[in-house]
Amino acid sequence: MFMCPGCKLSSALYRFAAAATVLTLLSLHTVACAQNVSVFAAVSLNEALDAALVLFERPANMRVVPSYAASSALARQIQSGAPADVFISADTEWMDYLAERKLIDVATRSNLITNRLVLIAPAASSVQTEIRPGFGLSQMLGDGRLSVADPDSVPAGKYAKAALMTLGVWNSVERRLVRGENVRAALNFVARGEAPLGIVYRTDAYAEKKVRIVATFAPDTHRPIVYPAAMVAGSRAPAARQLLDFLRSQRARAVFEKHGFIAVR
């Protein structure tokens, strides 16, 4: 190959580089040939979906690869051509957004589960309140901030904003927010004690030991928290349909319910 008089190191390096390249290409090929199902799922589904996937009976060379992020972020990535096979959103709006752009297979769309919205505080906090119209949320914050997901784009934040507006306290706290880029970020700020209060899903509060639920928002203060699931248009994974069917199955539902979700019948 390349002759470099006197540089023994250089030719050894070439051999190594060549071997590494071949191995990488081989493994990529293997991965590509394997049937991978890529699931883009709202971050609040993290633990529940991981647990459910363990029960999924899949063929030997198939892997299910979940990606968790805010539904807004995932929808935008799918719009930009990200290779997802299944999309599970935390609200209908982002699923509609993709449907409008013909980016999902509408025939496969259905609602999986629902959730509830809760007001949380750090585990060590002893704050008490009832959620009623006009309740003193702003006073309860003191000089701290209310931790929510970004109300402009993330479903959890949008639900929170809707609820607070319904209760007539949005204006008093609008300037006192910490906007997480997804609901888990909002959860973490409260868990670390950086924010005295936060609004997240009930399932998130269950998943995090360092927070406690102060009160639950009545479902009529916001639109129903519904998690639709669908196949992404143009997905080439035949097992995607199987996965969707599994997620609607009784076994999967049981797992979701165990984590605090409410299954849709």
Determine which residue in the list 40, 68, 189, 261 makes contact with other proteins, applying CB under 8 A.
189
Candidates 188-196, 204-212, 215-223, 256-264: pick the segment binding other proteins (CB under 8 A).
Answer: 188-196
Q: Characterize 110-128 residue by residue with b for buried, 16 or more Cβ atoms within 10 angstroms of its Cβ, and e for exposed.
A: eebbebbbbbbbbeeeeee
Min separation Cβ 202 and other proteins, Å: 23
Min separation Cβ 76 and other proteins, Å: 6
Determine which residue in the list 135, 193, 223, 242 makes contact with other proteins, applying CB under 8 A.
193
Q: How many residues bind other proteins (CB under 8 A)?
A: 24
Candidates 1-9, 144-152, 197-205, 206-214: pick the segment binding other proteins (CB under 8 A).
Answer: 144-152
Residue 180 contacts other proteins per CB under 8 A: yes
Angle between helices 46-55 and 250-258 (to 10 degrees): 150
Q: What does the longest C-alpha to C-alpha distance in the chain come to?
A: 84
Residue 101 contacts other proteins per CB under 8 A: no
Min separation Cβ 73 and other proteins, Å: 6
Beta partners for 111? Answer: 228
By CB under 8 A, the residues from 56 to 95 that bind other proteins are 70, 72-73, 76, 93-94
Q: Count of CB atoms within 10 A of residue 201's CB?
A: 30
Residue 176 DSSP symbol: G
Helix/strand/coil (H/E/C) assignment for every residue in 13-47: HHHHHHHHHHHHHHHHHHHHHCEEEEEEEEHHHHH
Beta partners for 104? Answer: 232
Task: Catalog residues that contact other proteins under the rule CB under 8 A.
Answer: 70, 72-73, 76, 93-94, 97, 144-145, 150, 152-154, 175, 177-181, 185, 189, 192-194
